[in-house]
Every structure is written in structure tokens, then in C-alpha cells.
Structure 1
């Protein structure tokens, strides 16, 4: 059927001596790495190490940008003026670009994290600020939720807008993510995550939180690196996708 999907994971989400994700293990499986840039997690040494590992494995590097919220892991709602947010997004991209270039590659796309990701689904001002930062960072593609204001703004600005799906997150009837504080927001059953991954990649869609069918068109599928057993789950997801005839490949290439 010619199905193809990118498999991405949030990586480098540690700080100092604290490590959250098995970066090396996940980089053996995924095709794109959303690397934390220091605002919600990550530090210079971690960013450099993840870029080196990604480049060695041919994994495409993306900047996972966030509100400046280390204490809250970028998951707390914040009101940041648009001009300030645009500069902070560009700053994060630039910081990661230094290490990507040192590893012999480049930052290839931008993905917001946590509260910023969810805010940009419907908040035009914050979405345009992210897009402005992506333009300053090199007119990079933007990864986000399908039909979001963020991707609409990216397209209007002439950037590539890339739809992303989550196999381990519950969806509302309007195809937005169920807030993490709501029971059932995270799909924890590994078999269900694997099945949902294949369904999304092959266009079958999934059930929303109320059990109704929901179509999700996506070019990239996220497997969360902070999920217990994330590496084994990612391996199962990739194997199931390939067994179903889905080509697993990055949606982007590093700019020259």
C-alpha cells in the first residue's frame, strides 16, 4: 500500500547526573530524535552526547523546544510574551545546532514540548511565536498535532508542517490529546500501544477516549522515552510496523 511513517522519541531529557531516558537504546530504534534543549530538560553535555549518538546511527535530529520550566519539566502553563518566546525558541535551536554540527549533521526540524505543544494547538499568538523561532533557526519544518493552529501558522509562513500522532496517548473527540491529569490520558498497555501504532500508520485510525472511531493522518509517530520499558516498547512498535508493510523512515533530512 506504500505506507510510510517516521518514528520519533523525546530524548536527552536528563539534567546533570539525573537521567530520564535511555537515549542510546532508543536511538537504535527511532528515525528522528527530539532533543531537549535545556529549557525543560537537557544540559550542554547531554545535548552533545545525544547528537553524537544520533549522528553515528543516522538518526535525524530535531530541537524539542519548551517554555523555560526545568522545575515543572515544561508541563506547566506559562504566559510568555510572543517576542520573548520567539527568541527563546530560536535560542534553543541555536544551542542544539552547535552540537549537531560538531557531530557532522544539522538540526532538521522543531517540535514544541509539553505545555507549549498543547498551547500551540489553539493559541495563535504562541503558535506564531514558535514559527518565528523556527524561521530564525533556519526556516525549519515544524512537527505538531494535525489540524492545529501551529501547523496552520507554519504553512502560512512557508514552512513544512508535519503531522504527528501519539500511540500511547488518549485523544478527545476533537483529536486533541487528553490532558495528562485525566485518568486514562496515557495508554499504558504495551499491546494496545503497538496495535494503535499500526492502526495509525495504515490509516485505520483509533478510538477516542469515549470509544468512538477517530481518523488520524500523521507522518510521524511519537514513542515517549520516559515511559517504563520505553526501549522494548519502541522495538515492538517498529517491528509491528514493518511486519504490517509500513516503511519506517525519517520525514526530514538534515539541511546542508
Structure 2
């Protein structure tokens, strides 16, 4: 911090200069002529007693990272919204979960992930992106009839590679009725194929590409995104779970297929989030 130089030193220096210039001037300074417009110097004692103004920095407010978000929070994650509008339209991206389509790209940045059982006990993921925009998302795959119920829940945009003729007829009708926005790769831009995977596991996109597509069709405006009721503190009665009692869930397992698709969510106390692990070749691999 830069401090203001004190007044007494300035007055003493000025007095010494006057004595040197006048030589044998009389002891009394009342007879010393002053130039027109020059103020008489203050006495050293008076200058010493004059208070000097100093600026006191305002301390920055401390934010407890464990404190619940109470204002400007992302509705689907409950975290503080530092960048972006909390009412922007979520992207519901269909992501392949077959072994040949792994590892997934961008999945760890989703606010929510739905795992939906499809044919042959294989699952397909519906990743909901609102608070974060991954640069790479993939592999993007086709939609299912269940997406017609899932996407309107978030007033979202359905991002998918395509679908059957029957499902397309219903999805396009939903979009025309304003139930949600659909961004199929059959007619929307923003998708690309990667060279390190074979089709159909090589269709990728990015959140920015999809938001540009929304802007191109005038659907980038605010959406009615429901806010989840997150608990205000980690200390609460067990009955808050809504039943007779709740159990602390440090690990959650989804055993659709234990041989190739066993999914486990493990609670990480340092980040207060659940990390996703999936069985790949007999080992649990963490999603990144």
C-alpha cells in the first residue's frame, strides 16, 4: 500500500530552505515577506498534530465452499452460477453406452445422467448439460420413445443422431407442438465424425455447436427449467428422505449387465459429488 508522506517532514524542510535563503533573517518569522498568494507556513507543532488520512482496504468476504447455494444457483446441480444464465435451455444428448463406444466424452460435465435400458440389455445414456458446456461430447446415438417424456421435463433440446421412422414422426410432432426442441443429425448441423473410431460409434459434437444450432432456429431463449430441492445442510434427520428413514448413500450401483456395463457411483467427500465408474474389460474405470 502506498502511504501519504507525513506533513511534519515537509514543513521542516520548507523552514530550513527559508533560513538558508535569508541568511541572517531575524528569529521571528512574522517579518519575513511572502510572495503574493503564498500562504504562511504552519508551525511544526501544529503540523505534527494534524491527522493524516489513510485508506483502509475493505476485507474480501469469505465464502464457505461447503455452504449451500441460496442465490443464482444452477437448478439441476444446486451449485453457484458464476458464468451463464440459469434459465438457458438444457441440452439432452443421447450417448452410446456400448463397450465399443467407450470411453465417453463429456459425460462427467453433465448435470444429470439418465441410463435407459434398450434392446439386448444394453443401455443408452441421456446426459443433461446446462451449467457446463463440454468441448467434446460423444459418441452421439439415436433417440428412443422414452426421450419424448424425458426432454419436456427440462424444457430442453434433444440432441441425437436419428431414430426410427415411427419415432421420428412422433418426435417431430412434439417439436412442432412446442413441447421441446429437437436437433437431429439428419437435418441439423454441428456434428462431425472422428477418425479413431468406426461407425456408428464415431459421431461427436460439442455444446457450443448445439447452442449455435439453437440460435440459428431462434430457440436459444430462456427455458422453464425445474429447480431440484437440494438440502441446505448435510446435517438433517433421516426421515428427510421421505420414508420412515434414510440411509447414507456413499455408493450406488446400477447392475443392468454385470459382465460389461456394471455402473457404480462413489461419493467423493472432497468435491461433494458422485464419481462415475463403469466396468470395462473386467475393471472399474472412472469417467472423466
TM-score for both structures, normalised by structure 2? 0.27
| Larger-gyration structure (1/2) | 2
TM-score for both structures, normalised by structure 1? 0.29
Higher relative contact order (CA 8 A, sep 6+): 1
Structure with bigger helix share is 1
